Amino acid sequence: MRHQLLVYFILLGGFLNICFGQSPPAKMTKEEYIREYSDIAVEEMNLYGIPASITLAQGVLESTHGNSPLATDANNHFGIKCHKEWTGDTFHTDDDEKNECFRKYTSPEESYKDHSLFLTSRERYTFLFEISLNDYKGWAYGLKKAGYATNPNYPELLIKIIEDFKLFELDKLGKQDLAHKRKHNEKDAAIIKQFSNSEEDFEPVSIGVSHRKIYKNNGVKFIFAKDGDTFEKIATDFQLYTFQVYKNNDLRKKNAIEEGQMIYIEPKKNKSSEQTHIVKPGETLHGISQQYAIKLKKLCKYNTLDKDATLFPDQKIKLR
Residue 11 placed within a domain:
no
Gap between the Cα atoms of 182 and 128, Å rounded: 9
Residue 102 placed within a domain:
yes
244 CB contacts (<8 Å, ≥6 apart)? 235
Are both 35 and 49 inside the same structural domain?
A: yes
The amino acid sitting at 277 is H
Supply φ then ψ for residue 53, to 5 degrees.
-60, -40
Question: Which of 126, 158, 180 is the endpoint of a domain?
Answer: 180
Looking at residue 225, the DSSP 8-state letter turns out to be P
Q: What pLDDT does residue 209 have?
A: 67
Domain tally for the chain?
Answer: 2
Report how far apart, in Å, the C-alpha atoms of 315 and of each of 84, 114, 278, 312 are: 18, 10, 6, 6
What is the CATH classification number for the domain harbouring 94?
Answer: 1.10.530.10
pLDDT tens, per residue, the chain with 320 residues:
444 444 343 444 444 444 444 555 678 899 999 999 999 999 888 888 899 999 999 999 999 999 999 999 999 999 998 877 777 888 987 766 788 899 999 999 999 998 998 888 788 888 998 898 899 999 999 999 999 988 999 999 999 999 999 999 999 887 644 444 433 333 333 333 344 455 556 777 787 766 788 888 899 898 888 888 888 998 888 888 988 988 999 988 888 888 888 899 899 999 888 888 888 877 888 889 999 999 999 998 888 888 887 777 778 889 98
Are both 142 and 120 inside the same structural domain?
A: yes
Q: What pLDDT does residue 19 have?
A: 45
Report how far apart, in Å, the C-alpha atoms of 264 and of each of 102, 213, 223, 283 are: 41, 12, 6, 19
Looking at residue 280, the DSSP 8-state letter turns out to be P
Are both 150 and 216 inside the same structural domain?
A: no
Gap between the Cα atoms of 116 and 302, Å rounded: 19
Gap between the Cα atoms of 237 and 235, Å rounded: 6
Gap between the Cα atoms of 33 and 95, Å rounded: 23
Task: Tell me the three state secondary structure of residue 214.
Answer: strand
The amino acid sitting at 311 is L
Domain carrying residue 127: 30-180
Report how far apart, in Å, the C-alpha atoms of 231 and of each of 81, 237, 253 are: 45, 10, 8
Are both 58 and 150 inside the same structural domain?
A: yes
Are both 156 and 195 inside the same structural domain?
A: no
Q: Tally helices (H) and strands (E) across the chain.
A: 11, 8
Question: Which of 153, 180, 207 is the endpoint of a domain?
Answer: 180
